[in-house]
Structure 1
């Protein structure tokens, strides 16, 4: 795939997708959104890729909507642009592989929403987050935000439009871990490589499970989890990985 605004690289079973529009702070133009959708739809079909990392590099993530593009839009002709956003959002959220977001700088408005669609978020200590739609007389993407940080905190984020630093984002549970400036991508790649070494089908099923149980009552969730657990326990890969783990434990005890 040839992209103008994205850089796609692969290492082992990890694909890293980097938004590359630094002169605009990685702002989300229609072309950027189309390329994101195309990239994730393509990666979704690749059996050799177990984990995807979405980033903007060490300095940026995305400053949000390309305001020059939005300024051209009239209410009667906004449907196509809105669809571009939601196709990109859905391509990330419903991609079968786990998606890790590595935020090195601003993740604002549409950039925040892109990070929201990922399964795990890591940040540089210089990262900043804000769902700023309210400042532009736009309504926010409240779901899945409230599922991640709770309804009360999600209301604060969306209604105030304020910007949070990485530490605040970590405290509210939006970011899983903060890394020193300049160390983000190497640290996230190490995590992704470890994850990518796990059974691919188990990774995919676990991601699907995390989405499915949100809409079930407790009894139904327990039944789904029991059935899924049974489908993996006793498999050839399960036995193989038990043997490998036991060998590592024995080797560690002998040192």
Structure 2
């Protein structure tokens, strides 16, 4: 489990961004890691950018900052293993965008969500959010800048589960454990393919499905999964 620890709101300073990138490097390099959980400390998941730090940036520095922050989100989205956001509290502005870059989102009953761009004269989440909740809900969330509860997020599909605060870490880890016990090559291929789903037309989607299905069919993971199924046991996998 990776924990964002930048009190009081877990905003990403330059130092905490570098720390997260180093952690992602370690995770990516470890073949034994098959799922990742990210959460926050205290009462916040993350508020995204550190606005006080941003105020001092020149236009050139701001462009570099946006590229770096976006690069961190893209790294999370592109990790070979699934990433689960255990959203323990405030997910605001760039923090909402951070959550959207994760593959699966679980929330605490204490969590809330704000696309804060219009509240501070900026724009956020217009690309990822509609792909998760649909255009109508995304427009309401983005254009009002209002605060939405975990239950509202659940109804929209922004999160898939809501838990009491004390139960959230265990629920997120259980989800990660479930994923980690599936055939790893299949999980990685499925994550990569489904992330591209909205970028492909029908023919491209069918072609990708065929290519990946054949690739997986030829793996030892598939053979072990079949053996485990017929022998009524969990599979034993070694990522190759």
How many residue pairs match? The answer is: 233
Q: Distance in 2 between matches of 1:74 and 1:157?
A: 29
Partner of 1:157: 141
Do the aligned residues in 2 keep the contact of 1:53 with 1:102 (CA within 8 Å)?
yes
Q: CA deviation at 1:101?
A: 0.5
The 5 Å alignment of 1:139-150 reads 139-150=123-134
1:55 to 39, 44, 58: 39
Q: Distance in 2 between matches of 1:30 and 1:241?
A: 44
| 1:130 is the counterpart of 2:124 | no
What's the CA shift string for 1:125-164, capped at 9, x where partnerless? Answer: 1110111011111111311211111122212111111111
Partner of 1:32: 16
SS at match of 2:106: strand
Q: Distance in 1 between matches of 2:130 and 2:117?
A: 16
User: Could you state the TM-score of these two structures normalised by the residue count of structure 2?
Assistant: 0.90
What's the CA shift string for 1:80-129, capped at 9, x where partnerless? Answer: 22222112111111112111100011011111111011011000111101
Q: CA deviation at 1:239?
A: 2.7
Do the aligned residues in 2 keep the contact of 1:54 with 1:101 (CA within 8 Å)?
yes
Structure 2 unaligned residues grouped into runs of 5+: 234-240
| 1:116 is the counterpart of 2:112 | no
Do the aligned residues in 2 keep the contact of 1:57 with 1:103 (CA within 8 Å)?
no
CA gap 1:224/1:187 in 2 versus in 1, 3 angstroms: same
Do the aligned residues in 2 keep the contact of 1:25 with 1:62 (CA within 8 Å)?
yes
Structure 1 unaligned residues grouped into runs of 5+: 1-15, 250-255
Partner of 1:238: 222
Q: CA deviation at 1:58?
A: 6.6
Partner of 2:185: 201
Q: Distance in 2 between matches of 1:158 and 1:75?
A: 24
Partner of 2:69: 85
| 1:101 is the counterpart of 2:85 | yes
Q: Distance in 2 between matches of 1:142 and 1:107?
A: 16
Q: Distance in 2 between matches of 1:236 and 1:38?
A: 32
SS at match of 2:232: helix
SS at match of 2:46: coil
Do the aligned residues in 2 keep the contact of 1:55 with 1:102 (CA within 8 Å)?
yes
Q: Distance in 1 between matches of 2:60 and 2:225?
A: 57
What's the CA shift string for 1:25-77, capped at 9, x where partnerless? Answer: 21111211122222213322321111111111474211332222122224354
User: Could you state the TM-score of these two structures normalised by the residue count of structure 1?
Assistant: 0.85
SS at match of 2:2: strand
SS at match of 2:105: strand
Q: Distance in 1 between matches of 2:185 and 2:192?
A: 11
Q: Distance in 2 between matches of 1:135 and 1:35?
A: 28
Across the aligned residues of Structure 1 and Structure 2, the Cα RMSD in angstroms comes to 1.8
